[in-house]
Chain A
């Protein structure tokens, strides 16, 4: 059974469109994250949620809107897609927040490759 699953795995779309990437974890974790991996393979955090509450919101355009209907799901919706949004987006989860645990192992999904044409 997949622990952290993301859909779709690949997404090709035109500039200006609105798209969503879904993430689900079946590990019973309280915290979920979205990371963006750019063309240089550098991973940057975008958002984190703990028990459906937004904890981290890095400097990300407000075209990106995360939604957590429950603590097992964290979806990423992107409006008015731009060429620079092309990247691999990784969802991850951990038992709890960094501030509450010294053994905060992250489990990652396989990634969703977004290509904006």
Chain B
């Protein structure tokens, strides 16, 4: 059964730093991998989706990569801002199980 792991569980950085969030998964039979942002008391917002045939996707200061063979994805955030503070979750669209499997998330705090 697909398991999704995110490291670190929490991260605190000063404003302006570049940072990387990690996501690993056990079953490479996926259609895609998504990164979400969750703000306290709110729902999830989809940030980036990488299809299984792609290696990376970029949106503004965010860049997500996917290496299916090693079961890894990273989310790179450039020039972090306090407004980036949130929990970031990765999830993959697992066609063996026909659902999405989420990691536990990385709680990011960007200090001014």
Majority secondary structure, B binding face: strand
> A56 to B105, alpha carbons, bound, how many Å?
23
CB distance from A1 to the nearest CB of B (A): 15
Q: Among the interface residues A42, A55, A90, which one has the most CB atoms of the partner chain B within 10 A?
A: A42
Q: Which residues of A contact B43 (CB under 8 A)?
A: 4, 90, 108-111
A42 with B99: CB separation less than 8 A: no
State which of B31, B53, B89, B107 has its C-beta within 8 Å of the C-beta of A43: B89
A104 with B44: CB separation less than 8 A: no
Given A90-B44, A104-B31, A99:B98 Cβ within 8 A: yes
Given A98-B31, A98-B93, A107:B46 Cβ within 8 A: yes
Interface set, chain B 77-112, CB cutoff 8 A to A: 87, 89, 91, 93-95, 97-102, 104-105, 107
State which of B49, B99, B102 has its C-beta within 8 Å of the C-beta of A98: B99
Q: Which residues of B contact A40 (CB under 8 A)?
A: 104
CB distance from B1 to the nearest CB of A (A): 11
Q: Which residues of A contact B49 (CB under 8 A)?
A: 103, 105
B51 within 8 A of A: yes
Interface set, chain A 11-37, CB cutoff 8 A to B: 33, 35
Contact residues of A with B, CB < 8 Å?
4, 33, 35, 40-45, 48, 55-56, 90, 92, 97-99, 101-111, 113
Those 4 A-B pairs whose CB atoms lie nearest each other, nearest first: A43-B102, A108-B43, A108-B44, A110-B43
